A and B are shown apart, each in its own frame.
Chain A
């Protein structure tokens, strides 16, 4: 269970989040939508403890993480996997070394077991046989898939996706959406997806939260949000510029 309560965040004089509250039960797919710069990625980074709020709380399975130091956060983060907007692959390492990064550092598994797990998870993201390639040799879509493979290889309880389809063509975006749905169902994980892509939001989300004007503006099932008569929600869904 993830609980966000009255979260506030400022960068200098600019307030990005103000009294943001919501909770996510185990196994739910939540999509966070909102205009560019409204604080979606900032909110996601608070949930995994990459940013500290100015006020408010974030609880993961009942544990308050906003007051934890970096060493204690490491324990909590082992429940998470995160797919970054730009994939954030380590460019000095190969695909296999990226995907098996924490296994190699923790030395909990032997080389053969690691290689087997890497091959298995790359197969799952439809990229078999690319273990020896470097991130610079991959396309944008492939990098996102490798990022997803790296996030799910440890069987996390929660997977966070930061704009997984941004910058990809509609066909690759569709395959990423299918992958998110497959991973969520297959691994039975809680998924939180930050996106601008309304088609993607409709497909992958059990529930949608819309951020607007630093707050949670609307929340409900995909049908609730898409059938909303609220002008702000409709403007965003239909992609209409301000008059």
Chain B
């Protein structure tokens, strides 16, 4: 039992060290401008443009469900016009960044881990190294930077769509006066809420890309290993998003409420 724990702990610490090393190499690569612009643009297209449908559907239906639920609760207290304010604050600071990031972790994180994992087990990453190319410069840095840049934009899009969809539900289905809805939403949804959401999504972007790249780059054991790396990338990045969201909420709450 002790030997098993020792082996498990050693493996876990080695993995943590390798993850830290990969993050360090990625930052050095970014600071050294070693990445080709063409690779970055390709990744922005794949991660950003091709995630549109997922993000639009997630944002729209989250906003609609939230608006309907909030309306039924507020209606009991004759607070119907506060519905969109709740949708706005929730979408901006929590649901927008977290749900968008979880969806991107599922789509993009899995794709990155599977692609890099396949390259690893078919010796394509070794081939890159023999062609005097650092795999971090060519494979990791563009994916990492693209996810960092794109996730806040996707989050902003999901927030806008969510609020818009919530507005349609409350105004056209629940027949609440739109002028008061807008007034209350703008009154209670501050710039701080939006900023917090976008800053969170920036951090989540780094979490998704670094975990997915690490899992792909360290993939082993053929097709089974690629499957494991893909699953692990999605599971670990989703868990990391949920845990880091709690600490970020505490941090930003402390920062912005004491200002």
Where the two chains meet, the residues of A that have a C-beta atom closer than 8 Å to any C-beta of B are 45, 48-50, 70-71, 73-75, 77-78, 80-82, 84-86, 88-91, 101-102, 105, 150-151
Contact = CB atoms under 8 A, between A and B. Distances in A.
Interface in B162-218: none
A105 B38 CA distance: 10
B10 interface: no
Nearest to B137: A105
B221 interface: no
Nearest to A50: B126
A194 B151 CA distance: 47
Contact of A105 (B122, B124, B130, B138): B138
Given A70-B25, A74-B133, 18 more contacts: A50-B129, A50-B130, A74-B129, A75-B132, A77-B129, A82-B127, A84-B123, A84-B127, A88-B126, A88-B127, A89-B127, A90-B119, A90-B127, A90-B128, A91-B122, A102-B131, A102-B133, A151-B130
B107 interface: no
Contacts of A49: 129
Category for how many chain B residues contact A = 10 to 19
Interface of B: 25, 36, 119, 122-124, 126-134, 138
Contact of A71 (B124, B127, B130, B134): B134
B133 A105 contact: yes
B101 to A, nearest CB: 26
Contacts of B127: 82, 84, 88-90
A85 B119 CA distance: 14
A101 B122 contact: no
Given A105-B36, A105-B138, A90 B130 contact: no
A192 to B, nearest CB: 13
B131 A84 contact: no
Given A50-B129, A77-B129, A105-B36, A88 B134 contact: no
Given A105-B36, A105-B138, A88 B133 contact: no
B130 A74 contact: no
B131 A101 contact: yes
B132 A90 contact: no
24 contacts: A45-B126, A50-B129, A50-B130, A74-B129, A75-B132, A77-B132, A80-B130, A81-B130, A82-B127, A84-B126, A84-B127, A86-B122, A88-B122, A88-B123, A88-B124, A89-B124, A90-B119, A90-B127, A90-B128, A91-B122, A101-B133, A102-B131, A105-B138, A151-B130
